[in-house]
Amino acid sequence: MRREPARGFVQHLPVIFPGLMLTIFFIVPFGTMVAVSFFRRQQGGFYVPDFVLANYARFLTPFFGNVLIFSLYLAIAVAVVSLIVAVPFTYLIARSRRQTQVIWLVALLSILSLSEVIIGFAWSTLLSRTAGITNLLVWLGLMQAPQALVPGFGAVLTGMVYQAMPYAVLVLYPSMVRLDPTLTEVARTLGASPLKAFFTVVLPALRTTLIATLIMAFIFALGSYLLPQILGRPSHWTLSVLITDQALYQSNMPFAAAMAVFLVLVSLALVSLTMFAGKKLEA
């Protein structure tokens, strides 16, 4: 379809408005952050405009390298676990009656109204030795003595998956509902068991959505800075924790900005890699 080129202010408005919003709310803050990352820090928590690479040079150390690798590892783990939990969950919801769907979705989305602090301390209590779920397991005779599951990697992962799940379901739900249920019926008439039909038809047909969910959960987990502190040991602290620490408590804005820019670049690279792999899979 050919269209007339847009003329005048009014016809350009549909482009101008989002462009303006993008500039104000994304390009300006991000540009500021990039600029600050090259500024020089002064004693007393101030910084002056300059162009120094010292902030970037500072985290080219094994310590920050390890933190970066752990951050990526944790974010990937959260994304994968969220997907594994959310896919069957959403599929079952999408196949149930309308009323059942609404109840489940409302319950799930109510998680979004909880603050990260509450989620963190709730899980920390739930996984503790004195009041945690291990007491329940002991009472059921499945364990010998109550155990503390917090702090630890498992606790951090659990808390962050809990937080990422509603978002994952929100991304998956529309495509799952729209997926033609006769696709699985066809697969069954062609000799696939229901489980096989799920893996050979439902998942491949939803591939694009699955990749989108994975990326969304990954980015979401990468930005989390509270839960690793509440539920983890210092060794489970992510780059986001260090950024918060530098920006708020050490008052080293340029260094925090440099780390943030680096984190953005690395996650952008990973996201494009995932999308590229997704395209490859499609071909």
Residue number, 31 or 194, with CB nearest to another protein: 194
Rounded to a whole number of angstroms, the minimum distance from the CB of residue 201 to another protein is 6
Rounded to a whole number of angstroms, the minimum distance from the CB of residue 190 to another protein is 4
Q: How far apart are CA 91 and CA 172, in angstroms?
A: 9
Spell out the residues 6+ positions from residue 96 whose beta carbon is closer than 8 angstroms to its own.
Answer: 104
Rounded to a whole number of angstroms, the minimum distance from the CB of residue 283 to another protein is 11
Contact residues for another protein (CB under 8 A)? 180, 182-183, 185-194, 196-197, 200-201, 204-205, 207, 282
CA 154 to chain centre: 17
Q: How far apart are CA 33 and CA 263, in angstroms?
A: 12
Residue number, 14 or 204, with CB nearest to another protein: 204
Residue number, 129 or 196, with CB nearest to another protein: 196
Q: How far apart are CA 57 and CA 65, in angstroms?
A: 12
Residue number, 191 or 234, with CB nearest to another protein: 191
Would you say 164 and 221 are in contact if contact means Cβ atoms under 8 Å apart?
yes
Would you say 149 and 92 are in contact if contact means Cβ atoms under 8 Å apart?
no
Q: How far apart are CA 128 and CA 247, in angstroms?
A: 31
Residue number, 100 or 189, with CB nearest to another protein: 189
Rounded to a whole number of angstroms, the minimum distance from the CB of residue 193 to another protein is 5
Residue number, 200 or 250, with CB nearest to another protein: 200
Rounded to a whole number of angstroms, the minimum distance from the CB of residue 278 to another protein is 12
In a 3-state reduction of DSSP, which class is residue 219? helix
Rounded to a whole number of angstroms, the minimum distance from the CB of residue 39 to another protein is 50
For tokens 């969304």, the residue is 216
Q: How far apart are CA 64 and CA 220, in angstroms?
A: 21
Rounded to a whole number of angstroms, the minimum distance from the CB of residue 17 to another protein is 33
Residue number, 23 or 193, with CB nearest to another protein: 193
- What own/partner pairs with CB < 8 Å and gap ≥ 24 does 213-217 have? 213/82, 213/83, 213/86, 213/168, 213/171, 213/172, 214/79, 214/80, 214/83, 214/274, 215/79, 215/271, 215/274, 215/275, 216/167, 216/168, 216/171, 217/78, 217/79, 217/82, 217/83, 217/164, 217/167, 217/168
